[in-house]
């Protein structure tokens, strides 16, 4: 798995860098303003940017899509950087979960736990910001956002066997 090194840039934003298998260092600077810089580092001097391309938030997202990224993942990872104490978990919905197959509104997850289901992912099928009618299909993955405790509470509901172990 590719690992990004995250470095805060005081007053500006955050920089992520990685070294590719072909041994080139590339990085992205995410400014507080939403601006993105795509950076390719110099072969001879790996500390220096050989090229730095300024992208708007929208252009960055479009480029990310082309490169095979998922908008949701990017959006969510964005969130964790801005809000302390917020946890995001991908929880697979068990077949034997008490709420399996029922609609989100009926499951009353937010009322019971305080955490929100912000997306449902079923294979290639992604439902961002699901409504009350969307079902908690067994086998699908729910993206849950909340405090550590509330997300754990959701895990107990959606994946009782995983959370018991």
Partner 1 sequence: MDTEPSALLLELGAIVFALAIASRLARRVGIPAIPLYLLAGLAFGEGGLADLGAATGFIEAGAEIGIILMLLMLGLEYSSVELRTNLQRSAPSGLLDLVLNFPPGLLTGLVLGWDLLSAVLLGGATYISSSGVVAKLLADLERVGNRETPVVLTILVIEDLAMAIYLPVVAGVLFGGPAMATVLTVIGALIAVVAILYIAQHYGESLSRLAFSQSSETLLLTLLGITLVVAGLAERIQLSAAVGAFLVGIVLSGEAASEARGVLLPLRNLFAAVFFVFFGLEVDPGLIPGVALTAGLLAATTAGTKIVTGWVAAGQKGIGPRGRLRTGTALVARGEFSIVIGALGVQREADLGAFVAAYVLFLAIAGPILARYSDSLVRR
| Residues shown for the chain | 165
Shortest Å distance, C-beta 113 to partner 1: 25
Shortest Å distance, C-beta 42 to partner 1: 9
Shorter beta-carbon distance to partner 1: residue 27 or 130: 27
Residue ranges of E strands in 64-155: 87-92, 116-122, 125-128, 141-146
Shorter beta-carbon distance to partner 1: residue 45 or 96: 45
Within positions 1 to 60, which residues make up the interface with partner 1, using CB under 8 A? Answer: 7-12, 15, 17, 27, 29, 32-33, 37, 39, 41, 44-49, 52
The backbone torsions φ and ψ at residue 92, rounded to the nearest 5 degrees and listed phi first, read -80, 135
Question: What CA–CA distance (Å, rounded) separates 96 from 164?
Answer: 13
Beta bridge partners of 19: 25
Tokens 């990085």, residue located: 27
Shorter beta-carbon distance to partner 1: residue 41 or 127: 41
Q: Is 155 one of the binding residues for partner 1 (CB under 8 A)?
A: no
Are 53 and 37 in contact by the 8 Å Cβ rule? The answer is yes
Binding site for partner 1 (CB under 8 A): 7-12, 15, 17, 27, 29, 32-33, 37, 39, 41, 44-49, 52
């Amino acid at each position: 798995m590719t690992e990004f090194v995250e470095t805060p840039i005081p007053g500006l934003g955050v920089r992520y860098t990685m070294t590719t298998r072909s041994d080139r260092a590339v990085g992205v600077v995410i400014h507080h303003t939403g601006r993105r810089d795509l950076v390719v580092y110099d072969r001879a001097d790996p500390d220096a940017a050989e090229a730095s391309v300024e992208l708007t938030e929208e252009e960055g997202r479009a480029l990310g899509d082309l490169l095979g990224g998922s908008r949701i993942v990017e959006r969510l990872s964005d969130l964790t950087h801005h809000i302390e104490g917020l946890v995001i978990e991908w929880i697979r919905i068990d077949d034997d979960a008490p709420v399996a197959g029922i609609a989100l509104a009926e499951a009353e997850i937010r009322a019971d736990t305080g955490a929100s289901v912000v997306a449902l992912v079923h294979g290639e099928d992604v439902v961002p910001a699901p409504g009350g009618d969307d079902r908690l299909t067994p086998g699908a993955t729910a993206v849950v956002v909340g405090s550590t405790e509330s997300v754990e509470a959701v895990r107990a509901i959606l994946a009782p066997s995983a959370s018991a172990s």
